[in-house]
Amino acid sequence: MSPTIGAALASWRMPWLTCAFILVTTALYLRGFARMHQQMPARFTTRRMGFYISGVAALAIALVSPLAALDDKLLVTHMMQHLLLLFIAPPLLLLGAPQIPLVRAIPPLIAKRTIGVIAKSRVCRRCFNLLTYPTNAFLLFSVAMLGWHLPCPFQIALRSSYWHAIEHGCFVVTGMIFWYPIVRPWPMVERWSRWAFVPYLLMADAENSVLAAFMVFSGRVLYPFYAGLPRINGFPAITDQIVAGAIMWVPGSILFVIPAIVIVMRALAPHALARPLGAHALAIKMITR
């Protein structure tokens, strides 16, 4: 093992606050999911639970595993983190339909006086609908993904653990917002045609490809922070950047294209059942009862 990698791993410490947050929310989800599985086994299947746990695992790998100790040593590992936080963890978490299980895990009186009040608030619902409206979700995702990869913000995040945490938080939040209208976790009601999400995904793929291509073909080190570090096993900074760009490019494109293909296949298939129009009202009733 390279001395640089060994020193980085030796200096790594478990981020207990992040780890505690992940563990607590996962425990709440599992508690609420068990209740929902008993009441609605056809909707809350064990497969949904598997998706959520996979999303939690992706978050843990990105944020609380030793991979985090190398993100300021290798751009490759940093891009792997971003891939997990933007493209992998958010859709997996949403496929677990977490809203109702998380709420049902909270004592009813507390849920009614907190989340129930928010769920019934027209202002809060409008704000949520505004944020998750596909055009707005796409813009927020684009600003976060492209903005944080500009050299200045990227290097600020590398030099400050505070800004680094904000960067990762932005990726997770905007990733959840971006994937929300695509995954449509119950009880969301469809607001766009399924066909509209094919260009939605392909445009996001195009943005990611442009960013990755710039990293691969720029011919210069975009982030001088990495150029000033001791290189691991003689791995040049420009090669590190090219490989990092390739990681964002190829796997990132696959993660956009596959959902687009699935949408097309499902849109062409006969619809078995229509989505219930009263799903949102039912969800509010379940939260506040």
Provide the token pair at 84: 């997990």
162 has a pLDDT exceeding 80: yes
Average pLDDT of span 179-198: 85
The alpha carbon torsion through 232, 238, 244, 248 (nearest 10 deg) reads 180
- Calculate the average pLDDT of the chain: 86
User: How many of the other CB atoms lie within 10 Å of CB of 284?
Assistant: 16
The pLDDT value recorded for residue 122 is: 86
Residue listed under structure tokens 């442009």: 210
The pLDDT value recorded for residue 188 is: 79
149 has a pLDDT exceeding 90: yes
- Please give the helix or strand (H or E) that residue 243 lies within, else none: helix 237-268
The pLDDT value recorded for residue 51 is: 96
The pLDDT value recorded for residue 271 is: 57
CA distance 104 to 93: 17
Q: Cα–chain-centroid distance for residue 252?
A: 13
The pLDDT value recorded for residue 115 is: 77
CA distance 242 to 252: 15
The pLDDT value recorded for residue 153 is: 95
Alpha-carbon distance values, 187 to 174, 276, 285 (Å) = 20, 9, 12
- The shares of helix, strand and coil residues in the chain, as percent rounded to the nearest 5, are 80, 0, 20
278 vs 45, higher pLDDT? 45
Reduced to 3 states (helix: H, G, I; strand: E, B; else coil), residue 231 is coil
Average pLDDT of span 24-32: 94
159 has a pLDDT exceeding 60: yes
The pLDDT value recorded for residue 5 is: 59
CA distance 123 to 277: 21
Q: Would you give the DSSP letter of residue 195?
A: G
